[in-house]
Amino acid sequence: MEQRQQQLLGLVINNYVATAEPVGSRFLVEKAGLDWSEATVRNELRELEEEGYLTHPHTSAGRLPTLKGYQYYLSTINFSELKLPRQESALLEKSVQAGGDYEGARKNLAKAIVELSHEMVLVAFSADFVYYTGLSNLFQKPDFFDRAIVANISEVFDRCEEVIPDFFEDVPEEPKFFLGDEHPFGEMLSVVSMRFGKNGESLIALLGPQRMDYKHNWELMSKAKELI
């Protein structure tokens, strides 16, 4: 992908993450301070759509990222340069310290991540012992206004113990993103997950819409890796 298209894809994703609204060429030129004409931006966006990185609702001239677009976006991020803000890092540290025993500390950490990410967090201490918090965060997002989508997601979490075992096999010890059908929680969600425990017998996962703040969520999970 050419550098200009890569920059535009990143801008579309960043603005869609922030607003949940389709992003148009006029918005990009006026708000992002681009030096290119609106016609040039419109042509580049059209090409990105033809290549499958963007799509657009029929009722809007703006574009939305596709699964392919998010996957490409993730491939361009230098995660080693990302660092959680000091204040948020301290909050996560305090949550673990205040948790008491092993289980309580990790549940507290999950709650703190939910507070900072406004997403959902799942902790599987084993394949048949699953704790999750923040589910209501998902259902308050505009991404999940459709009751059928809410019902499908709820059904998955009602049978967590059935879907977790196979997912365990795919999760590494370092934070990793899973999009689309790479995880069992539904294609509307993106997941960043990692294993923990002496023999990697447990996992923690942060779940949100595909329109999640990937950089910030990775920072949170990376810090959790240090603490867990």
> Model confidence over 42-72: pLDDT tens digits?
999 999 999 999 998 876 678 999 999 999 9
* Residue 189 pLDDT level (bands cut at 50, 70, 90): very high
Tokens of 122: 């799942």
Question: Do 72 and 21 belong together in one domain?
Answer: yes
Question: Do 112 and 150 belong together in one domain?
Answer: yes
Domain final residue pick, 20, 50, 76: 76
Question: Do 49 and 107 belong together in one domain?
Answer: no
* Residue 206 pLDDT level (bands cut at 50, 70, 90): very high
8 Å CB contact between 167 and 183: yes
Question: Do 214 and 109 belong together in one domain?
Answer: yes
Question: Do 123 and 29 belong together in one domain?
Answer: no
Question: Do 221 and 147 belong together in one domain?
Answer: yes
Question: Do 89 and 198 belong together in one domain?
Answer: yes
State the total domains in the chain: 2
State the pLDDT at residue 143: 86
Tell me: the pLDDT tens digits for 119-156? 999 999 988 899 999 988 988 898 888 777 777 788 88
Tokens of 34: 């681009």
Domain final residue pick, 20, 47, 76: 76
Domain of 14, CATH number, reads 1.10.10.10
Question: Do 35 and 107 belong together in one domain?
Answer: no
Question: Do 17 and 57 belong together in one domain?
Answer: yes
Question: Do 195 and 120 belong together in one domain?
Answer: yes
* Better pLDDT: 45 or 32: 45
State the pLDDT at residue 52: 96
Helix axes 67-75, 214-227, angle to 10 degrees: 60
Burial (CB count within 10 angstroms: exposed 0-12, middle 13-18, buried 19+), residue 225:
middle
The length of the chain in residues reads 228
- Give the range of the structural domain holding residue 61, as residue numbers without chain letter: 3-76
